[in-house]
């Protein structure tokens, strides 16, 4: 399910919600219609569209399925020319290689899109981290930084 967003300043969360609303309206679906098709409540969908809730990856995939869109189409990326299929090498994980080989070409394309999405997500998270500071942060002020009277615990109760 989705999780409540306590910080409304995340533009990516709002952007995803706005995109869902835009596509839903262009397909002439009501919130109730789309919510029923993806298995969430109408109020949860409303909160996702407004950026109040994060859209979970599983929910986003159900939305993409209803809209019949790929991840790259949803995010407006230009279609990439399909390069000649290259079999990836998984020398450290032969089971993964067997799983890959068992996938259909369409499923492989979806896996590649998901990997591209996860890479973008990681890059975004790295870009949102505050820069490292040269001096480690102190948890309490140095003695010379303390100003004003120091009160005993008993003084705190008097007002």
Q: Which helix (H) or strand (E) holds 137?
A: none
- How far is it, in rounded angstroms, from Cα 117 to Cα 41? 26
Q: Is the pTM of this model over 0.85?
A: no
Taking all residues of the chain, what is their mean pLDDT, rounded to a whole number? Answer: 74
Residue-wise pLDDT tens digits, 123-143: 766 766 666 555 555 555 544
pLDDT bucket at 11, cuts 50 / 70 / 90: confident
Give 4's strand partners: 53
Residue-wise pLDDT tens digits, 57-98: 889 999 999 988 888 888 876 555 555 555 667 777 888 888
Q: Which residues contact 34 (CB under 8 A, 6 or more apart)?
A: 24, 45, 63, 66
For residue 154, pLDDT over 70 is answered with no
For residue 28, pLDDT over 80 is answered with yes
Average pLDDT for 16-24: 90
Percent of the chain with pLDDT over 70: 62
- How far is it, in rounded angstroms, from Cα 84 to Cα 65? 26
């Amino acid at each position: 399910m989705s999780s409540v967003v306590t910080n409304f300043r995340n533009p990516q969360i709002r952007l995803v919600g706005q995109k869902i609303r835009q596509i839903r309206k262009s397909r002439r679906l009501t919130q109730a219609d789309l919510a029923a098709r993806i298995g969430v409540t109408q109020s949860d969908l409303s909160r996702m569209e407004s950026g109040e809730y994060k859209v979970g990856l599983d929910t986003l995939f159900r939305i993409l399925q209803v809209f019949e869109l790929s991840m790259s189409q949803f995010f407006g990326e230009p279609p990439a020319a399909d390069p000649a299929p290259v079999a990836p090498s998984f020398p450290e994980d032969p089971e993964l290689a067997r799983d890959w080989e068992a996938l259909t070409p369409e499923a492989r394309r979806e896996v590649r899109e998901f990997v591209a999405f996860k890479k973008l997500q990681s890059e975004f998270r790295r870009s949102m981290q505050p820069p490292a500071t040269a001096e480690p942060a102190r948890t309490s002020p140095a003695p010379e930084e303390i100003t004003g009277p120091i009160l005993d615990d008993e003084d705190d109760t008097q007002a």
